[in-house]
Amino acid sequence: MLYLIGLGLGNERDVTLRGLDAIKRCSKVYLEAYTSVLGVDVRAMEALYEKPVRTCDRAFVEQGVDAVLDEALSEDVAFCVVGDAFAATTHSDLVLRAIERGVAVRPVYNASIMNAVAGTGLSLYNFGKAVSICFFTQTWRPDSFYDLIRDNRKSGAHTLCLLDIRVKEPTVRALCKGIEEYEPARFMTAATAAKQMLEVEESRGEGVYGEDTMCVAVARIGQDDEKIRACTLGEMRRVDMGAPLHSLVLVGDVMEIESAMLATHAVKPEDFYDGDAPCQMLDG
């Protein structure tokens, strides 16, 4: 049996009782560690689970996971993911590969950013399609998110922006020489996302949003030090939300209760960087 177990968003104790029971039954425990990250070290998880946890990078999940599926043919194996069991399409692909091999799969669900974003005070019923925002480079500035935001804003819907995470990415030297060498981990900030979004609006010029458009950022959602701040998109370029992970919501039409909730998260003077936010361009 392959157990696909959502771990939630905060720390090792956010796993559900059902998920913990399954982990303790399993002979092997794997942790997918590239689509998101938990707010604690893997050692904290091992202490709670009372067994070793193997972390899996992108290469393992996409190319080496067949060995995990082979194990699951004859024993119980836990494949743990941050957030919900199906938080990323990668996890659906894993299930399809398991079914092809005749492996029984049992998911254990949990909270993810897709529902925890309601902590901003914005109603989940009023969200449109979520978008992903990637780090810009000098020569590559993907802007496909702009069209989806435009469609959302036509209907007055809010847009959840999922911000880029780059973990264990090979260096250029590694790609050229075939060696194992990785870039430092990078996590996009809400300030960088706001800056890139406004740059795209300036280049596209369709008036989908602007510096005065309201937005709300969330950082470390579900953790003890979570932070939620609402302000204009122009202001967000200078807001320091602290340590990762960050997400950003572009606010659409609001109900009275949503407006009142956003007011409780209004940005404070001490939230701003002294000067400009740090540059996060990959080759900047």
Domain 2-111 and domain 114-271 have a common topology: no
Is residue 87 part of an annotated ligand binding site?
Answer: yes
How far is Cα 249 from Cα 233, in angstroms, rounded to an integer? Answer: 10
Is residue 246 part of an annotated ligand binding site?
Answer: yes
C-alpha of 172 from chain center: 25
Residue 284 confidence (pLDDT): 59
Is residue 282 part of an annotated ligand binding site?
Answer: no
Residue keyed to tokens 């689970």: 49
Residue 4 confidence (pLDDT): 97
Is residue 84 part of an annotated ligand binding site?
Answer: yes
Q: Residues in the chain with pLDDT < 50?
A: none
Residue 178 confidence (pLDDT): 74
User: Residue 2 contacts by C-beta under 8 Å, 6 or more apart in sequence?
Assistant: 68, 69, 72, 77, 79, 98, 103, 104, 105, 106
How far is Cα 25 from Cα 7, in angstroms, rounded to an integer? Answer: 16
Residue 183 confidence (pLDDT): 78
Please, are residues 205 and 166 in contact by the beta-carbon 8 Å criterion? no
Residue 161 confidence (pLDDT): 98
Residue 7 confidence (pLDDT): 96
Secondary structure element (H or E) that encloses residue 160, with its range = strand 159-163
Residue 176 confidence (pLDDT): 79
Residue 149 confidence (pLDDT): 98
| CA angle (99, 100, 105) in 5-degree steps | 15
Please, are residues 190 and 223 in contact by the beta-carbon 8 Å criterion? no
pTM of the predicted structure, to 2 decimals: 0.91
User: What are the residue ranges spanned by the domains of the chain?
Assistant: 2-111, 114-271
How far is Cα 195 from Cα 281, in angstroms, rounded to an integer? Answer: 11
Residue 34 confidence (pLDDT): 74
Phi-psi region of 62 (alpha: psi -120 to 50; beta: other; left: phi over 0): alpha
Residue 73 confidence (pLDDT): 96
Which CATH architecture describes the domain 2-111?
3-Layer(aba) Sandwich (3.40)
Residue 214 pairs with which residues in a beta bridge?
232
How far is Cα 228 from Cα 119, in angstroms, rounded to an integer? Answer: 8
For residues 123, 205, 189, 185, the Cα torsion angle rounded to the nearest 10 degrees is: 120
Is residue 9 part of an annotated ligand binding site?
Answer: yes
How far is Cα 135 from Cα 282, in angstroms, rounded to an integer? Answer: 7
Residue 110 confidence (pLDDT): 97
Please, are residues 150 and 103 in contact by the beta-carbon 8 Å criterion? no
Which fold would CATH assign to domain 114-271? 3.30.950
